[in-house]
Every structure is written in C-alpha cells, then in structure tokens.
C-alpha cells in the first residue's frame, strides 16, 4: 500500500520501483544508439527489452520486502 512510504523501508521500496521506470524513460535519450547490437537487435531496443524483463525482478524484491511471497 502507498501509505508504506512513510518509513525507511517504504522509501527503499519506492526507490527500487523507480529504477526500472527511470531506465525505461529518462535514461532512454542517453542510450539512443544502434551499436553495440545484441542478438542482432539495435542497442536501444535491447535496452528497453532487457529492462522490461528485469522489471518483474524488482517487483519480486519489493514483494519479498513486504513479505507477500
């Protein structure tokens, strides 16, 4: 829940959640390149795909910290 933001653990969880969002938005102008390519994909597309695949990992960690699974 959002009211969990009011303590240190809450702040840590929100920071963890912010990492993939920042990587997929604000960071993108800095990775707007074709090289190096991974599996033939341009770097920009690889970056977006890898961060989308990492997002569940971040949410899993947040869920663990909240002892939900």
Partner 1 sequence: MSGTTTALAIVGLVVFGTIGFALFGVGRIKMDPAQYIVGGRSFGTIFLWVLLAGEIYTTFTFLGIAGLSYSQGAPAFYAIAYGASAYVIGYFLAPAIWRVAKDHDLLTGPDFFETRYGSRVLGVGVALLMFVMVIPYVALQLSGLQILLHIAGYGAYDTTAAVCIAFIVLAFFVFTAGLRGTAWASVVKDIFVLGAVTFAGIAIPVHFFGSPSAMLDRLLATHPQMLLLPASTAFHGTSWYVSTVLLSAIGFYMGPHSWSAVYSARSGDTLRRNAMLLPLYQTFLALMIIAGLAAALIHPGLKGTAVDQSFLLVVAQYYPPWVLGLIAGAGALAALVPASALLLAGASVITKNVAGDAFGFATSDTSRTLLTRVLVIVVALLALGVWLAAQKTVVELLLLYYNGVTQFAPGAAAAFLYRRATAAAVGAGIAVGLAVAIPLAAFNVSPWGINAGFLALIANVLVLLAVSLRSPTSRTMP
Using the rule CB under 8 A, is 21 a contact of partner 1?
yes
Using the rule CB under 8 A, is 53 a contact of partner 1?
yes
Q: Which is nearer to partner 1, 1 or 8 (CB)?
A: 1
**Residue 22, φ and ψ in degrees, nearest 5:** -65, -40
Using the rule CB under 8 A, is 15 a contact of partner 1?
no
DSSP line for 1-67: -GGGGGSHHHHHHHHHHHHHHHHHTTTGGGG---PSPBTTB-HHHHHHHHHHHHHHHHHHHHHHHTT
List of residues contacting partner 1 (CB under 8 A)? 1-3, 5, 17, 20-21, 24-26, 28-29, 32-34, 37, 39-42, 44-45, 48-49, 51-53, 55-56, 58-60, 62-63, 68-69
């Amino acid at each position: 829940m959002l009211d969990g933001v009011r303590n240190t653990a809450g702040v840590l969880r929100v920071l963890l959640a912010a990492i993939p969002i920042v990587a997929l938005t604000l960071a993108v102008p800095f990775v707007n390149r074709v090289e190096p390519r991974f599996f033939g994909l341009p770097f920009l597309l690889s970056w977006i795909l890898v961060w989308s695949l990492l997002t569940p990992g971040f949410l899993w960690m947040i869920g663990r910290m909240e002892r939900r699974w």
